[in-house]
């Protein structure tokens, strides 16, 4: 008991740092499967995957994956009808860094989309991989 009292701060630091190490694994399971930019490109070309960009309209206008559909995260649930016909196709969801898209992936899965993938690293990773971006 004296050990715990004398080393309380160090014990707390150990638990917090352990939690920080485990968080990406826990978050990853909640977000579901993710794909790299290369894997996404293969899915787009081979499986006719749909790309859903959940960034805000002004972000989308500054540049996006060619042929991506732009639906801001806050509107995904109310605009599901626009992408309902793609329920049986792979859907690759992205945002700028990969955080907002994880939430959208959950919404799509809850609404019957079976093949939903989060683009790991978002548009930033897409651009770093040398993949094309358009403003059209």
What is the distance of C-alpha 77 from the center of its chain?
Answer: 16
- Look at the block and give the residue holding tokens 């920080």: 20
- Residue of 35, 40, 95, 104 marked catalytic: 95
Residue 95 designated active-site: yes
| Positions marked catalytic | 95
């Amino acid at each position: 008991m004296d050990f715990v009292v004398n080393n309380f701060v160090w014990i707390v630091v150990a638990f917090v740092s352990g939690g920080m190490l485990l968080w990406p694994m826990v978050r990853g399971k909640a977000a579901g499967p993710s794909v790299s930019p290369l894997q996404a490109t293969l899915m787009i070309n081979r499986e006719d995957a749909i790309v859903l960009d959940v960034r805000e309209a002004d972000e989308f206008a500054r540049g996006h994956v060619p042929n991506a559909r732009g639906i801001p995260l806050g509107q995904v649930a109310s605009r599901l009808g626009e992408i309902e016909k793609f329920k049986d196709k792979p859907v690759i969801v992205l945002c700028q860094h990969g955080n907002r898209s994880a939430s959208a992936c959950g919404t799509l899965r809850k609404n019957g989309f079976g093949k939903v993938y989060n683009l790991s690293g978002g548009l930033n990773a897409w651009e770093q991989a040398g993949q094309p971006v358009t403003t059209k």
